[in-house]
Amino acid sequence: MSSRSWVENSLLGIIVLNFIVLMYVFLIPRAQFMLSNWGEESASLMETSGAMDMPNQYATSYKVANQILKRVGEDAVVLMPSEGRETFLSRSALIQRLYPRKIYFSGDLGWGRFSSYLSDKEAHVVFNTGWRGDFCKERPVYSLGHTGLGICQVDKRNLVLIEKLMQKK
């Protein structure tokens, strides 16, 4: 007969079962993700859906931020539509990725600071179809990937129009 009791065998079985579950749920998906994305740049990794056990909720926000980075300078001011269902953007992900640029969202209380930055820096407006105003009529408009968003550089003459836009929610 075996020298171990049924209690010891049960505990050993539970430990082995837990180890198998941990491998299947956590280790294997992470290893697959790491192998399939080996050698990619951090910017493109941010845009992936992530590992199966921990999906990237902010992939769209990082895609938009990386597209904005291609269009604006480091000292630019960027106006964004308000957070919400229509944009699917994360404020924290955008601010993190676009730093040191100044980011303002429609309806924010920081309008006074925005107008002081605009006097000596370039300003860009990111818009969706329901948020685009007359401020991009005479300027080239660039698509931000397949997100339904666009961006244009605004002229300082449009400050009053942009101020009205920023005060709307």
> What pLDDT, in 10s, does the model give residues 48-82?
887 777 788 888 888 889 899 988 988 888 888 77
pLDDT above 70 covers a percentage of the chain that reads 76
Q: Identify the residue with better confidence: 124 or 2.
A: 124
Which pLDDT does position 81 carry in this prediction?
A: 77
Q: Identify the residue with better confidence: 94 or 104.
A: 94
Which pLDDT does position 126 carry in this prediction?
A: 83
Does the structure show a pLDDT above 80 at 165? no
Say which residue the tokens 């818009």 belong to: 127
> What pLDDT, in 10s, does the model give residues 103-145?
888 777 665 566 666 666 788 888 876 665 566 777 788 888 7
CA 85 to centroid of chain Cα atoms:
14
- Spatial separation of the C-alpha atoms in residues 132 and 122, rounded to whole Å: 18
Task: Tell whether pTM > 0.85.
Answer: no
